[in-house]
């Protein structure tokens, strides 16, 4: 009898050992946070990139890991500075172009441009200043998440209060959660840091936040804000939604009171007097567009 019990014990230990091996985490990030495959996919469904998940802190992970969201629309807009010759004079202008235009053809008044390894034909060069990525995620029957990520490829020279926002179709949906935000960066010496101390703003026409850009020599800078939207009580089934993610960079030093002098809507971010001239002027970017039934 003892031999039988001993044999059963060995089998149980073997099964426990196999189960322990099978219980290994799907992914462990740079901060030692262990994630299941479901956790990881949930984060991706909320618009987090692989890099952002790798750097994620435990507070954010604990809050987001069980939200089973799915990306239903994503739009990438590149903000580029185009330099060209006109009548023998060097000119510059800013353009907002979609991912397809950025990788293919870009039509401008009087010129047909083709991007090839960072250059354009017709003697034109383009510098990719930043990318603005707008994402709509379906959370459940009641909520969608709107999110905008901004990747600064050219580190801004002027460091003041920059604005990040997503305009909504105010006749269909309203902002239904707090504005969440995070800015992270790498220093040229290899160290990194982050800051979630933004100035959030919720309006009937959208959600936004201001960040005071970090000082020092930076090698990378990226920022995101996100919030949930819900349908108005009198709105039935929705068959389409647009989210307009936008970014406004302060080209002059401005005080934090600029918070009271800007708005975001389907036309993007609009800064008005007395600070309108203190922010760069881009065309309104293309929206992320959801087509379906919600």
Q: What is the CATH number of the domain that holds 205?
A: 2.60.40
Note whether 42 and 182 are same-domain residues.
no
pTM: 0.83
Least confident of 28-37, 54-63, 276-285: 276-285
| 195 has pLDDT over 60 | yes
Mean pLDDT, residues 99-112 taken together: 52
Note whether 138 and 282 are same-domain residues.
yes
pLDDT 10s digits, 134-165: 999 999 999 999 999 999 988 999 999 999 99
Note whether 143 and 256 are same-domain residues.
yes
| 53 has pLDDT over 90 | yes
Examine residue 18 and state whether it is found in any structural domain, yes or no.
no
60 against 90, higher pLDDT: 60
Host H or E run for residue 39: helix 37-45
Note whether 150 and 113 are same-domain residues.
no
Examine residue 10 and state whether it is found in any structural domain, yes or no.
no
Note whether 169 and 260 are same-domain residues.
yes
- Of 111, 128, 145, which marks where a domain is finished? 128
Least confident of 97-111, 136-150, 197-211, 217-231: 97-111
Mean pLDDT, residues 269-283 taken together: 91
Contact 152, 80 (CB under 8 A): no
pLDDT at 89: 75
Mean pLDDT, residues 197-204 taken together: 98
| 119 has pLDDT over 80 | no
Note whether 248 and 159 are same-domain residues.
yes
Number of domains in the chain: 3
Q: Which residue has the tokens 């309006």?
A: 203
Note whether 161 and 283 are same-domain residues.
yes
φ, ψ (nearest 5 deg) of residue 234: -90, 5
pLDDT, averaged across the chain: 85
| 220 has pLDDT over 90 | yes
φ, ψ (nearest 5 deg) of residue 222: -145, 150
Note whether 246 and 207 are same-domain residues.
yes
Nearest Cα residue to 213 out of 178, 179, 247, 185: 185
Nearest Cα residue to 128 out of 104, 92, 102: 102
Mean pLDDT, residues 34-56 taken together: 95
- Of 47, 68, 89, which marks where a domain is finished? 68
**184 preceded by cis ω (within 30°)?**
no
Examine residue 187 and state whether it is found in any structural domain, yes or no.
yes
Note whether 104 and 44 are same-domain residues.
no
| 263 has pLDDT over 90 | yes
Mean pLDDT, residues 93-119 taken together: 54
| 118 has pLDDT over 70 | no
130 against 293, higher pLDDT: 293
Note whether 143 and 287 are same-domain residues.
yes
Percentage of the chain with pLDDT > 90? Answer: 69
Note whether 82 and 94 are same-domain residues.
yes
pLDDT at 107: 41
Instruction: Give long-range contacts, CB 8 A cutoff, 24+ apart: 270-273.
Output: 271/163
- Residue 58 domain boundaries: 27-68
Please state, in angstroms and rounded to a whole number, the distance separating the CA atoms of residues 129 and 91.
Answer: 17
């Amino acid at each position: 009898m003892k031999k039988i019990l001993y044999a059963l014990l060995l089998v149980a230990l073997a099964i426990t050992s196999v189960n322990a091996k099978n219980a290994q985490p799907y992914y462990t990030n740079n901060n030692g946070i262990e994630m299941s495959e479901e956790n990881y996919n949930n984060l991706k469904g909320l618009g987090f990139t692989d890099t952002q998940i790798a750097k994620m802190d435990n507070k954010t992970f604990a809050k987001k890991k069980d939200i089973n969201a799915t990306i239903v629309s994503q739009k990438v807009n590149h903000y580029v500075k185009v330099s060209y010759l006109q009548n023998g004079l060097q000119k510059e202008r800013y353009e907002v172009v979609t991912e397809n235009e950025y990788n293919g053809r870009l039509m401008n008044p009087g010129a047909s441009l083709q991007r090839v390894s960072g250059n354009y034909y017709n003697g034109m060069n383009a510098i990719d200043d930043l990318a603005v990525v707008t994402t709509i995620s379906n959370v459940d029957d009641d909520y969608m998440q709107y999110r905008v990520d901004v990747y600064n490829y050219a580190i801004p020279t002027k460091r003041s209060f920059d604005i990040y926002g997503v305009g909504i179709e105010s006749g269909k949906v309203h902002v239904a959660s707090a504005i969440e935000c995070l800015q992270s960066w790498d220093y040229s010496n290899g160290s990194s840091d982050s800051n979630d101390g933004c100035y959030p703003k919720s309006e009937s026409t959208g959600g936004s936040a201001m960040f005071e850009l970090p000082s020092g020599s930076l090698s990378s800078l990226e920022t995101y804000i996100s919030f949930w939207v819900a349908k108005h009580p009198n709105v039935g089934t929705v068959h389409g939604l647009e989210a307009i993610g936008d970014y406004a960079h302060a080209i002059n030093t401005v005080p934090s009171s600029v918070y009271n002098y800007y708005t975001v809507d389907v036309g993007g971010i609009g800064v008005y007097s007395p600070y309108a001239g203190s922010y760069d002027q881009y065309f309104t970017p293309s929206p992320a567009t959801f087509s379906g039934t919600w």
